[in-house]
């Protein structure tokens, strides 16, 4: 029997670049980059990844290529070390001289190819209702221009709301499936059939609107009455407010609702 589940993740801004396991040392404290590496924009990244192919891992969905450590030296973003990814069994450190030759300055490589923002954190990601959300309690933004760090700013965000569902996914599942009007759903499959939804929320975390994701198989499309019922139940919940890169996240992609006759028989009796 397939398990009923609801999973919330901020897929709207997750990016899946190749190298994103980087550390950045700022005033002696070690931060890590958020789904990003200055090497993502490096002109010779294809060759570098080939040279370091034994350093990579597939232990996470981010498919980390290698672990880079950067330092800020005289306001410049400098590469100090390249190691294998943490869950790679091989423990090895690259020879920067072999990789970059005369481009090194006192054993370090300046990221002079990079212009833009780099977001880092020291925190563990927020979790709500047992669901992973790609946001953090605080972030630090570095603004870099041709390898020179011209600004460093810290962002500390409000704590996400805590309800009876906080770190308790089972309570959230039970709430939705015991409050939904199953009579609105006339063509339920025998087994669980999940669908993704996108929804927007207001400044207090309550739902404004909800719609199915665009990539939906024909047999999984809900009609107007069914969508109104899904919206009604989701609207009863005060969802957490998350922040990402200095701004509140108001649109979410990744609410999965799994409906079936099996689940109807299990939960409808509790009405």
- Model confidence pLDDT, tens digit, residues 11-69: 333 333 344 569 999 999 999 998 888 998 899 988 998 898 888 766 554 456 788 99
Question: SS3 for 109?
Answer: strand
Within a 10 A sphere around the Cβ of 135, how many other Cβ atoms?
A: 24
Classified by CATH at the fold level, domain 169-270 comes out as 3.30.1150
Confidence band for 256, pLDDT divided at 50, 70 and 90 = confident
**pLDDT for 95-133, tens place per residue?**
999 999 999 999 999 999 999 999 999 998 776 544 445
DSSP 8-state symbol, 108: B
| % of the chain residues with pLDDT over 70 | 81
Q: Nearest-5° angle of CA 260, CA 11, CA 240?
A: 80
Q: How far is CA 189 from CA 9, 102, 260, 264, in A?
A: 25, 64, 5, 10
Confidence at residue 103, expressed as pLDDT on a 0 to 100 scale: 95
For the chain, the first-to-last Cα distance in angstroms comes to 22
Residues with Cβ < 8 Å from 9, sequence gap 6 or more? 131, 132, 133, 134, 254
Question: Using CA of residue 180, residue 186, residue 190, residue 192, what is the dihedral sign?
Answer: negative
More confident residue, 193 or 100: 100
Q: Where are the domains of the chain?
A: 23-156, 169-270
């Amino acid at each position: 029997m397939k398990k009923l589940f609801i999973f919330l993740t901020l897929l709207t801004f997750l990016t899946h670049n190749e190298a994103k396991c980087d550390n950045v040392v700022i005033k002696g404290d070690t931060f890590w980059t958020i789904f990003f590496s200055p090497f993502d924009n490096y002109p010779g990244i294809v060759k570098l990844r080939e040279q370091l192919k034994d350093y990579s891992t597939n232990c996470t969905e981010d498919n980390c290529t290698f672990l880079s450590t950067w330092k800020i030296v005289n306001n410049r973003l400098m590469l100090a070390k390249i190691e294998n990814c943490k869950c790679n069994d091989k423990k090895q450190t690259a020879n920067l001289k072999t990789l970059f030759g005369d481009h090194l300055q006192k054993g370090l490589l300046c990221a002079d190819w990079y212009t833009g923002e780099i977001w880092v954190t020291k925190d563990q990601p927020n979790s709500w209702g047992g669901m992973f959300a790609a946001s953090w309690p605080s972030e630090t933004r570095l603004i870099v221009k041709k390898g020179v760090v011209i600004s460093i700013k810290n962002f500390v965000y409000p704590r996400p709301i805590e309800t009876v569902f906080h770190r308790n996914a089972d309570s959230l599942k039970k709430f939705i499936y015991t409050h939904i009007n199953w009579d609105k759903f006339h063509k339920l499959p025998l087994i669980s059939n999940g669908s993704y939804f996108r929804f927007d929320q207001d400044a207090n975390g309550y739902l404004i609107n909800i719609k199915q994701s665009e990539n939906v198989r024909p047999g999984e499309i809900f009609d107007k009455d069914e969508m109104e019922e899904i919206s009604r139940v989701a609207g009863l919940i005060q969802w957490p407010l998350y922040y990402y890169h200095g701004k509140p996240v108001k649109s979410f992609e990744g609410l999965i609702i799994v409906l079936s006759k099996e689940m109807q028989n299990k939960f409808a009796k509790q009405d």
